[in-house]
């Protein structure tokens, strides 16, 4: 059956402007998204029926990291295709959060770490890479204007 789903990725920035990424386990189970085992990913997931995309981002971050985020903003949207899957991926961004990242779903991610935006791991999960590339492009556009 062909269908389109909505996926959410959340860029969380700390006070040093580092971004939170989780390592997708090599043995990660297929949860119906774009799989991407042994890659680094933004927290996020699939939007549920009767849930706004902001509510989805807040819920998914809490489920995956234990963090409580506030005031996420929509940064970017794009089509994301897998072998047998099609997602509209929405990138949210926030620097407002409480807590310390923890591995809440060890069957999905096995660690969470903060990375400098200019020194990200090479093996980024493709949808997360697209979000982060867009964010970095926007930073440079802003710097060029100033």
- pLDDT tens digits, 79-99: 988 777 788 999 999 999 999
Q: What share of the chain is helix, strand, coil (3-state, %, to 5)?
A: 25, 40, 40
Higher-confidence position of 108 and 43: 43
Burial class (CB within 10 angstroms; exposed 0-12, middle 13-18, buried 19+) of 25: middle
Per the prediction, the chain carries an average pLDDT of 89
**Predicted local distance difference test score (pLDDT) of residue 31:** 55
Give the residue ranges of DSSP H helices in the chain.
Answer: 53-65, 126-145
Check which CATH number belongs to the domain holding 79 and give it: 3.90.79.10
Domain count of the chain?
Answer: 1
Q: What is the pTM of this model?
A: 0.90
Domain that holds residue 83: 4-145
**pLDDT, tens digit (0-9, with 9 covering 90-100), for 32-85:** 555 577 899 999 999 999 999 999 999 999 999 999 999 999 999 999 887 777
């Amino acid at each position: 059956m062909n269908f389109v789903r909505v996926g959410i990725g959340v860029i969380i920035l700390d006070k040093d402007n580092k971004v939170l990424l989780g390592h997708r386990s090599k043995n990660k189970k297929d949860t119906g998204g774009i799989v991407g085992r042994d890659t680094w990913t933004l927290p996020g997931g699939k939007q549920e029926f009767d849930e706004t995309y902001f509510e989805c981002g807040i819920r998914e971050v809490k489920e995956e990291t234990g963090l409580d985020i506030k005031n996420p903003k929509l940064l970017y949207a794009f089509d994301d295709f897998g072998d047998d899957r099609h997602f509209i991926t929405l990138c949210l961004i926030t620097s407002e959060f409480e807590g310390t990242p923890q591995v809440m779903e060890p069957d999905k991610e096995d660690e969470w770490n903060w990375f400098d935006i200019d020194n990200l791991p090479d093996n980024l999960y493709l949808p997360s890479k697209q979000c982060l590339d867009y964010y970095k492009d926007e930073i440079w556009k802003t710097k060029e204007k100033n």
